[in-house]
């Protein structure tokens, strides 16, 4: 066996052991949740606990009072407790999946020290426990030290390793006075030093929020969950009235049914399946969000993401790369293209800007990249001259903005070849940036710099369009540039906001909301804060300003704006999964009517024989089979609740598929399952 294969096998074994450990731990923790105070927040589970307690009392009283044979009574009681255990197990397993991650995040927090200072000029300070830091404190963090808490850089610049939070090993730059001033606790400074203004009190940091999310410790029910809880309570009350009135109908016909049977009937008829899985679905949704390295400040935001109809995305860094790149070299009349390429590369050797490097990359694809000589004099690009260049052996190569190059050549626009002027105008009209290349005596041509759309972004926009989500590009560029980018990204960009100001963003969001559409937005700057606060789903970048992070209801630790698309999918999956399993649960209950009611009451009402489709062995086996199925189906659906329902296909095809699988399937599965269990019970002589 190869070394890699051996390592792979070891990894699988370690993962398998971890999964087994998590399952065993969840089984034990599920027992602790038999406390009625822990169950009171879940109406279905609390009702199930009451029924199990009453069944236990009936079994203890014995056959003379319960009217049920002891063996059957205790079997029914045991399966009622098992149903409750399985429902609790689903929730504890969902929470347990994140506890290992939470433990790793907690590691080292208690032992962390911080150098608290009085001002950005103080480079000494005093060492204090990180847990004692309060909002408003100022700390100095040097190379090799860990940032003690969330905050904002107010002085200095440094490289920060955020692998402990994001999993990304490449260091990132954090500096004061920019949109990249935000830092996260438990990340490490790898160079230089920074002064950090603490923005959270102990227990309120990004790390604390993530730990609470993955542990399920402070997870609050979303509006959708609360609405579903109300529905389940209503259905439970209806079935309680139905079952409570059955004895009077039976007395009328001189028939008696034991209270234990009625208890079991009641539990099988109420929607215990979705009641047992509801919390697990919500926790699993949060878990998927955490895996994306997104912190949710509220469950409402995640749920709202599933109903988003308008998505606002920044152009720069989201739809396009962060900087414009060279796309084409256009030679002047009579100029050899290779001469233009060589001159452009020479003039860019001293240009360390992304634009200058992109010219070298473009030209070197078809021409040999020149090497720098010791005698060369480099002219670095500066904002003042707007030129860069190189002097070699009496030859002067320059590249820069149109006006700057013409000024360098002392050339009037009228003397510029018409082809060059047309190229410059066309580039500007398309939203690009034209640069001229020249020697000290001659104009050689034009470099076309343009916004390059990220690979794959069009495909993602197409997915959003199929989902009925309208995409809006936000940019500070002029309308010409914005229109050009929007046209190139026509696969999904339905609109754009040019020369975007905070007021423009707010006005657009409010108009969309006034028309009844939920709006999502991502941003990282202080100027994005008003719009992030106004949007239904506001995704703030972790590397951004503190104002943006406080305004948003979601924080992306990776600072990847396109992740908003993934958040939308998580929200939709959460809603679809909850809806699909609710459909399955209610369909289950309908099927169980045909299983239990005819078997139990056919003696009193012979007409029910027409509904006795399952032909179960006896009333006793019917009720026991239904109880067993009711318990086992919860366990069977736990993996689906944790994984979530697939979102493949269009909305219409998804609806048809879910109705077929969870609606029709929910009707058929109980018929098959209860009949098989009945055959086993009868064959083993358990009743």
Q: CA 447 from chain center: how many Å? A: 41
Measuring CA to CA, how many Å separate 486 from each of 318, 430, 467, 614?
13, 11, 20, 61
664/646 Cα distance (integer angstroms): 18
Q: Is 515 a catalytic residue?
A: no
Number of helices (H), then strands (E), in the chain: 24, 20
Decide: 158 and 194 in contact? Cβ < 8 Å. Answer: yes
End-to-end C-alpha distance for the chain, whole angstroms? 54
Q: Where are the beta strands (DSSP E) in 487-578?
A: 493-497, 518-523, 537-541, 554-556
In this predicted structure, the answer to whether residue 108 has a pLDDT above a threshold of 80 is no
519/510 Cα distance (integer angstroms): 9
In this predicted structure, the answer to whether residue 483 has a pLDDT above a threshold of 60 is yes
pLDDT grade for 7, boundaries at 50, 70 and 90: very low
Tens-place pLDDT, residues 504-528: 888 899 999 999 889 998 887 777 8
Torsion of CA 272, 273, 275, 278, to 10 degrees: 170
- Counting Cβ atoms within 10 Å, is residue 559 exposed (0-12), middle (13-18) or buried (19+)? buried
Q: What is the pLDDT of residue 377?
A: 92
Decide: 644 and 566 in contact? Cβ < 8 Å. Answer: no
Length of the chain counted residue by residue: 687
pLDDT grade for 107, boundaries at 50, 70 and 90: low
Is pTM beyond 0.95 here? no
Q: What is the pLDDT of residue 485?
A: 65
Average pLDDT for 415-435: 88
Average pLDDT for 290-310: 81
Q: At what angle do helices 619-643 and 665-684 cross, to 10 degrees?
A: 130
Q: Which residue, among 109, 104, 117, has the nearest Cα to 155 in the 3D structure?
A: 117
Instruction: Look at 48-52, 99-103, 433-437 and tell me which has the smallest mean pLDDT.
Output: 99-103
pLDDT grade for 563, boundaries at 50, 70 and 90: confident
344/355 Cα distance (integer angstroms): 12
Report the alpha-carbon angle 441-444-448, nearest 5. 140
Q: What is the pLDDT of residue 159?
A: 82
Q: What is the pLDDT of residue 3?
A: 45
Q: Which residue, among 47, 79, 90, 78, has the nearest Cα to 270 in the 3D structure?
A: 47
- Counting Cβ atoms within 10 Å, is residue 111 exposed (0-12), middle (13-18) or buried (19+)? exposed
pLDDT grade for 406, boundaries at 50, 70 and 90: very high
Report the alpha-carbon angle 570-575-577, nearest 5. 90
Q: What is the pLDDT of residue 232?
A: 87
Instruction: Look at 214-218, 331-335, 552-556 and tell me which has the smallest mean pLDDT.
Output: 214-218
In this predicted structure, the answer to whether residue 89 has a pLDDT above a threshold of 50 is yes
Q: Highest mean pLDDT range out of 19-33, 74-88, 365-379? A: 74-88
Q: What is the pLDDT of residue 4?
A: 44
Residue 488 host element (H or E)? helix 479-488
Tens-place pLDDT, residues 573-589: 888 998 899 999 989 88
pLDDT grade for 100, boundaries at 50, 70 and 90: low
Q: At what angle do helices 272-291 and 223-252 cross, to 10 degrees?
A: 170
In this predicted structure, the answer to whether residue 210 has a pLDDT above a threshold of 50 is yes
In this predicted structure, the answer to whether residue 202 has a pLDDT above a threshold of 90 is no
Beta bridge partners of 474: 314, 497
Contacting residues for 532 by C-beta, under 8 A, at least 6 apart: 521, 523, 538, 539, 540, 548, 551, 552
Q: What is the pLDDT of residue 571?
A: 87
- Residue 543 gets which letter from DSSP? T
Instruction: Look at 77-81, 166-170, 430-434, 551-555 and tell me which has the smallest mean pLDDT.
Output: 166-170
Q: What is the pLDDT of residue 15?
A: 52
- Counting Cβ atoms within 10 Å, is residue 516 exposed (0-12), middle (13-18) or buried (19+)? exposed
Residue indicated by tokens 């999310």: 213
Decide: 474 and 454 in contact? Cβ < 8 Å. Answer: no
Active-site annotation holder among 137, 208, 287, 314: 314
149/172 Cα distance (integer angstroms): 17
Beta bridge partners of 183: 151
β-bridge pairing 188-198 and 151-161? antiparallel
In this predicted structure, the answer to whether residue 466 has a pLDDT above a threshold of 60 is yes
3-state secondary structure 82-139: HHHHHHHHHHHHHHHHHHHHHHHHHCCCCCCEEEEECCCCCCCCEEEEHHHCCCCCEE
Q: What is the pLDDT of residue 205?
A: 73
30/36 Cα distance (integer angstroms): 13
pLDDT grade for 405, boundaries at 50, 70 and 90: very high
Q: At what angle do helices 665-684 and 563-601 cross, to 10 degrees?
A: 50
Average pLDDT for 394-423: 91
Q: Which residue, among 404, 400, 390, 394, has the nearest Cα to 347 in the 3D structure?
A: 390
The two structure tokens encoding residue 54: 């009453």
Q: What is the pLDDT of residue 105?
A: 55
410/389 Cα distance (integer angstroms): 17
pLDDT grade for 13, boundaries at 50, 70 and 90: low
Tens-place pLDDT, residues 249-279: 777 777 777 888 888 889 988 888 888 888 8
Contacting residues for 144 by C-beta, under 8 A, at least 6 apart: 188, 189, 190
Q: What is the pLDDT of residue 109?
A: 56
Q: What is the pLDDT of residue 491?
A: 44
In this predicted structure, the answer to whether residue 531 has a pLDDT above a threshold of 80 is yes
**Half-sphere exposure in the Cβ direction for 462 (13 Å, CA):** 6
pLDDT grade for 468, boundaries at 50, 70 and 90: confident
The two structure tokens encoding residue 137: 């404190």
Q: What is the pLDDT of residue 219?
A: 57
Q: What is the pLDDT of residue 597?
A: 78
In this predicted structure, the answer to whether residue 610 has a pLDDT above a threshold of 70 is yes
Q: Which residue, among 212, 131, 158, 73, has the nearest Cα to 543 in the 3D structure?
A: 158
Average pLDDT for 325-346: 92
Decide: 538 and 563 in contact? Cβ < 8 Å. Answer: no
Q: What is the pLDDT of residue 168?
A: 54
The two structure tokens encoding residue 7: 């390592």
Tens-place pLDDT, residues 163-184: 666 655 557 778 887 767 888 8
234/240 Cα distance (integer angstroms): 10
Q: What is the pLDDT of residue 329?
A: 94
User: What integer best gives the mean pLDDT of the chain?
Assistant: 82
Contacting residues for 361 by C-beta, under 8 A, at least 6 apart: 325, 326
469/467 Cα distance (integer angstroms): 6
Beta bridge partners of 295: 555
Number of other CB atoms surrounding residue 414 within 10 Å: 6
The sheet with strand 395-401 has its strands ordered as: 325-331, 443-450, 433-439, 395-401, 387-392, 377-379
Q: What is the pLDDT of residue 79?
A: 94
Q: What is the pLDDT of residue 316?
A: 66
Tens-place pLDDT, residues 121-162: 888 888 888 888 888 899 999 988 888 888 889 888 888 887
* Phi, psi at 16, each rounded to 5°: -60, -40
173/160 Cα distance (integer angstroms): 6
Number of other CB atoms surrounding residue 445 within 10 Å: 25
Q: Which residue, among 214, 221, 200, has the nearest Cα to 295 in the 3D structure?
A: 214
Q: What is the pLDDT of residue 17?
A: 62
């Amino acid at each position: 066996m190869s070394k890699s294969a051996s390592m792979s096998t070891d990894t699988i074994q370690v993962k398998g052991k971890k999964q087994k450990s998590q399952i065993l731990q969840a089984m034990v923790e599920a027992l602790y949740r038999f406390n009625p105070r822990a169950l009171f927040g879940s109406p279905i589970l609390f009702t199930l606990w009451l029924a199990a307690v009453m069944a236990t009392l009936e079994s203890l009283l014995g056959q003379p009072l319960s009217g049920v044979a002891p063996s059957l009574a205790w079997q029914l009681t045991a399966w009622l407790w098992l149903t409750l255990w399985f429902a609790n197990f689903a929730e504890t397993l969902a929470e347990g999946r994140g506890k290992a991650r939470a433990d790793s995040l907690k590691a080292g927090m208690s032992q962390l020290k911080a150098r608290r200072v009085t001002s950005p000029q103080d480079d000494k300070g005093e060492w204090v426990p990180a847990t004692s830091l309060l909002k408003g404190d100022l700390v100095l963090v040097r190379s090799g030290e860990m940032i003690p808490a969330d905050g904002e850089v107010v002085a200095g610049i440094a490289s920060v390793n955020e692998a402990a939070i994001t999993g990304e090993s490449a260091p990132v730059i954090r500096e004061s006075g920019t949109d990249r001033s935000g830092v996260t606790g438990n990340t490490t400074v790898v160079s230089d030093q920074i002064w950090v203004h603490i923005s959270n009190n102990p227990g309120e940091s990004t790390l604390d929020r993530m730990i609470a999310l993955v542990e399920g410790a402070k997870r609050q029910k979303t509006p959708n969950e609360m609405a579903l809880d109300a529905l389940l309570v209503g259905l439970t009350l209806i079935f309680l009235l139905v079952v409570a009135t059955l004895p009077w109908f039976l007395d009328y016909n001189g028939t008696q049914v034991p209270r234990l049977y009625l208890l079991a009937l009641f539990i099988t008829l109420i929607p215990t399946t979705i009641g047992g899985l509801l919390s697990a679905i919500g926790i699993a949704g949060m878990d998927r969000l955490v895996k994306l390295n997104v912190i949710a400040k509220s469950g409402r935001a995640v749920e709202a993401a599933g109903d988003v109809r308008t998505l606002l995305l920044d152009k720069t860094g989201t739809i396009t790369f962060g900087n414009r790149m060279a796309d084409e070299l256009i030679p002047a009349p009579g100029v050899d293209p290779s001469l233009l390429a060589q001159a452009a590369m020479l003039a860019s050797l001293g240009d360390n800007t992304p634009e200058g490097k992109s010219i070298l990359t473009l030209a070197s694809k078809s021409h040999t990249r020149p090497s720098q000589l010791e005698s060369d004099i480099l002219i670095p690009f500066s904002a003042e001259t707007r030129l860069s260049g190189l002097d070699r052996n009496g030859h002067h190569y320059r590249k820069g903005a149109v006006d700057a190059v013409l000024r360098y050549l002392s050339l009037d626009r009228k003397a510029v070849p018409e082809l060059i002027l047309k190229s410059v105008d066309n580039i500007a009209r398309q939203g690009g940036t034209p640069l001229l290349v020249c020697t000290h005596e001659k104009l050689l041509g034009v470099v076309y710099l343009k916004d390059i759309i990220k690979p794959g972004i069009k495909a993602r926009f197409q997915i959003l369009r199929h989902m009925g989500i309208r995409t809006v590009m936000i940019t500070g560029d002029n309308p010409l540039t914005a229109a050009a980018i929007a046209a190139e990204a026509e696969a999904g960009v339905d609109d754009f906001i040019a020369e975007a100001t905070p007021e423009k963003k707010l006005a657009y969001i409010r108009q969309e909301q006034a028309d009844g559409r939920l709006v999502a937005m991502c941003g990282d700057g202080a100027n994005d804060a008003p719009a992030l606060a106004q949007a239904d789903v506001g995704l703030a970048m972790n590397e951004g300003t503190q104002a943006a992070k406080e305004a948003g209801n979601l924080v992306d630790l990776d600072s990847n704006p396109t992740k908003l698309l993934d958040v939308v999918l998580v929200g939709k999956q959460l809603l679809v999964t909850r809806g699909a399993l609710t459909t399955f649960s209610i369909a289950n209950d309908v099927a169980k009517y045909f299983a239990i009611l005819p078997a139990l009451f056919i003696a009193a009402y012979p007409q029910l024989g027409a509904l006795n489709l399952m032909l179960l062995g006896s009333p006793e086996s019917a009720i026991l089979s239904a109880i067993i199925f009711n318990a086992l189906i919860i366990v069977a659906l736990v993996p689906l609740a944790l994984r979530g329902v697939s979102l493949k296909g269009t909305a219409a095809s998804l609806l048809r598929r879910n109705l077929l699988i969870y609606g029709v399937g929910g009707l058929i599965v109980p018929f098959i399952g209860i009949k098989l269990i009945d055959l086993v019970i009868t064959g083993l002589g358990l009743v």
